[in-house]
Chain A
Amino acid sequence: MSVSPAPASPSPVAALPVPRRVAAFRTEGFPMLPIAILVTLALLAIFAELIAPHNPEIGSLGQRFKPPAWIAGGSTQHLLGTDHIGRDVMSRLIFGARVSMMVGFMAVIIAGVLGSALGILSGYLGGWVDQVIMRLTDTWLALPALTFAIFLAAIVGPSEWNIVIILGAVYWTRYARVIRGEVLSLKERDFVRLAIVAGCSKWTIMRRHLLPNVANTAIVLATLMLGVVIVSEAALSFLGVGVPPPKPAWGLMLADGKKGLMAGYWWLTVFPGVCIVLMVLAANLLGDWLRVKLDPQLRQL
């Protein structure tokens, strides 16, 4: 009997039965890590006053540029060191989580609501409404997001709320494009046609039939956008047009940290950055998981 050159196969009886719960985890790929990170950050943000050891906005000049506790010169008073005004880094990081989460989520929600609404209108109503909204979207998209945000910040002045609105205004276009595409294909589906035949008004159709169906896409897009928004906010703060001092935004901490960079005060740069990376990583992983879970078709995003 001639056998083709193939790897030896284990006998079918040899494998042990895999416990069902574990098997489910493996196939689902439940995102423990990203959710753990996000929940931790959320808790830090909510209970910042209770958790942070020092006031994040006030420092003592006698304690400037103290290194983290495990390095010579550091103390357990300031576990992660202090910055150029003597403010405790760890406390600032903790309060910074609040800023990042607030700005991140609010901006994403604003962009999402605005973008989805316009996307649905544009996709469903078609005609000149569609043309106008699409041309607007294209133009908006042609403006590099960060540059545009800087421009707007220069006009209205930086503040936490302004940043939220600006980021929302800059990023809605991402939603509009994608949601419109969804709506265009949903329009051809039977359940929409049935609703039209049944005499539903345009608004009803958009609200009751289209909206729930695009919700999945919108949610996935939201998690992906969260990462982008957070990095944008950090960049804006770093440049000085984001969240204004003395509020402890991570991006702002990086800007301050740059001042001590050439002198080797690495902790002022590394720690805030790590926080940003963790949050963005968590958002991205969650987004990936949701994308696969909710609809494999969304893989193009």
Chain B
Amino acid sequence: MSDEPLLELDRLSAHYVTGRGTRVVKAVDEVSLSLRAGETLGVVGESGSGKTTLALAILRLLPTAAQIVSAAMRFDGEDLLAMSPVEMRRIRGKRIAMILQDPMASLNPLFSVGDQVGEPLRVHENASRRSAWERAGALLRSVKIPAAGQRLREYPHQMSGGMRQRIVGAIAISCEPRLLIADEPTTSLDVTIQAQYLKLLRDIQREHGLALIFITHNLGIVARMCDSVAVMYAGRVIESGPVRRIFNSPIHPYTRALIESIPRLGEGPERLTAIDGQPPDLASLPVGCSFQARCPRVMDHCREEAPPAFDIATDHNARCWLARP
């Protein structure tokens, strides 16, 4: 593992401008992250916090209505923003891969499993149909799908949800990418299958030396899978740092509330703590900190000025006035 970050985002923003300039939705705002090879970063937040938009922004797959603005967006030393569409295409699926949430919807119902798994190989490595088919079989085996040879000929609707998600995983690793983005991959799986799948992801990661960005709303998974975590709220990263630190000493009240709202067994019949209120409308964010309406420790200053990211320790920072030294 080199010390140079594999992926570096410096103040990445993705804004949707509609209504001829009257409405600006800041789906992602000034996000800075960095990720080294082999590391796992968890991105946590409620729905609408900008997690998926962030992932698509990295891959530059947002609809044309969105404008990506960033000081720097580097992958493996290369500037992603400066790339032409052709160059970006060569990165997608080959050097950066992504898994989506709903495996049934991700697979084209009209084509066989073998065809879809082998496709990246045919496109990126010019593999012949035969060799792509064989390697697809090997890939299915590597994601622990039994009777791989048989499966190649079958169609997505004939498989169970867990198997489909494994197939999607096989597609993702087919060209040996260096970074894998997983957008809530276990959310639509049965609970019993989830653990198996997470283990599979870990194994794949170790085997291939992948860096992994794991997007989820489930802090429990983050605790198990990730080295570091970034917590997102209303399009901004409000706290990020190593997992252990964040869980043991969270600074931002939102992070605190998230951690406290994880139901824990064996602590007696305590009330479940929920966070009051709703996330703000991204088109009309309040002046100041975007969490002000729901923050139990809000101060006057929070309503006047949005906090910058304060460094609390190495790699641990939080966007909160409470963190001001």
Direct contact of A and B (CB under 8 A): yes
**Which A residues fall within an 8 A CB radius of B?**
1-4, 6-7, 9-15, 17
Binary CB contact string for chain B from 1 to 34 against chain A (1 if under 8 A, 0 otherwise)? 0000000000000000101111010000000000
Stretch at the interface among B69-77, B216-224, B254-262: B69-77
B236 interfacial by beta-carbon distance below 8 Å: no
B21 touches A2 (CB 8 A): no
Q: Could you tell me the distance in whole angstroms from the C-beta of B93 to the nearest C-beta in chain A?
A: 20
Note all chain A residues with C-beta closer than 8 A to B78.
none
B71 touches A2 (CB 8 A): yes
B67 interfacial by beta-carbon distance below 8 Å: yes
B21 touches A6 (CB 8 A): no
User: Given A15-B19, A15-B21, does the pair A2, B72 have CB atoms closer than 8 Å?
Assistant: yes
User: Given A12-B21, A12-B22, A15-B20, does the pair A2, B67 have CB atoms closer than 8 Å?
Assistant: no
Contact of A3 among B19, B21, B69 (CB under 8 A): B69
Closest chain A residue to B80 by CB distance? A4
Q: Could you tell me the distance in whole angstroms from the C-beta of B29 to the nearest C-beta in chain A?
A: 15
**B residues 44-103 in Cβ contact with A at 8 Å:** 60, 64, 67-73, 79, 81-82
A4 touches B72 (CB 8 A): no
B69 touches A4 (CB 8 A): yes
Contact of A2 among B19, B20, B70 (CB under 8 A): B70
Closest chain A residue to B22 by CB distance? A15
Note all chain B residues with C-beta closer than 8 A to A14.
21
Q: Could you tell me the distance in whole angstroms from the C-beta of A23 to the nearest C-beta in chain B?
A: 10
B67 touches A4 (CB 8 A): yes
Closest chain A residue to B69 by CB distance? A3
* A7-B16 Cα distance, complex, nearest whole Å: 12
Note all chain B residues with C-beta closer than 8 A to A4.
60, 67-70, 81
* A4-B71 Cα distance, complex, nearest whole Å: 10
Closest chain B residue to A8 by CB distance? B67
Could you give 6 example pairs across A and B, Cβ below 8 Å?
A4-B60, A6-B64, A7-B64, A9-B67, A10-B20, A11-B21
Note all chain B residues with C-beta closer than 8 A to A1.
69, 71
Q: Could you tell me the distance in whole angstroms from the C-beta of A104 to the nearest C-beta in chain B?
A: 41
Q: Could you tell me the distance in whole angstroms from the C-beta of A95 to the nearest C-beta in chain B?
A: 50
* A10-B67 Cα distance, complex, nearest whole Å: 12
Identify which of B22, B24, B60, B73 gathers the most chain A CB atoms within 10 Å of its CB: B22
* A196-B199 Cα distance, complex, nearest whole Å: 49
Note all chain A residues with C-beta closer than 8 A to B19.
15
* A110-B17 Cα distance, complex, nearest whole Å: 50
User: Given A2-B81, A4-B60, A15-B22, does the pair A9, B70 have CB atoms closer than 8 Å?
Assistant: no
Closest chain B residue to A14 by CB distance? B21
Note all chain B residues with C-beta closer than 8 A to A3.
69, 81
A6 touches B22 (CB 8 A): no
Note all chain A residues with C-beta closer than 8 A to B82.
2
**B residues 103-150 in Cβ contact with A at 8 Å:** none
**Given A2-B70, A10-B20, A14-B21, 10 additional A-B pairs, CB 8 A:** A3-B69, A3-B81, A4-B60, A4-B70, A4-B81, A6-B67, A6-B68, A9-B67, A11-B21, A15-B22
Q: Could you tell me the distance in whole angstroms from the C-beta of A113 to the nearest C-beta in chain B?
A: 40
* A245-B69 Cα distance, complex, nearest whole Å: 73
Identify which of A3, A4, A10, A13 gathers the most chain B CB atoms within 10 Å of its CB: A4
Note all chain B residues with C-beta closer than 8 A to A15.
19-22
Note all chain B residues with C-beta closer than 8 A to A17.
22
Q: Which 6 A-B pairs have the closest CB atoms?
A: A10-B21, A4-B68, A15-B21, A6-B67, A15-B20, A15-B22
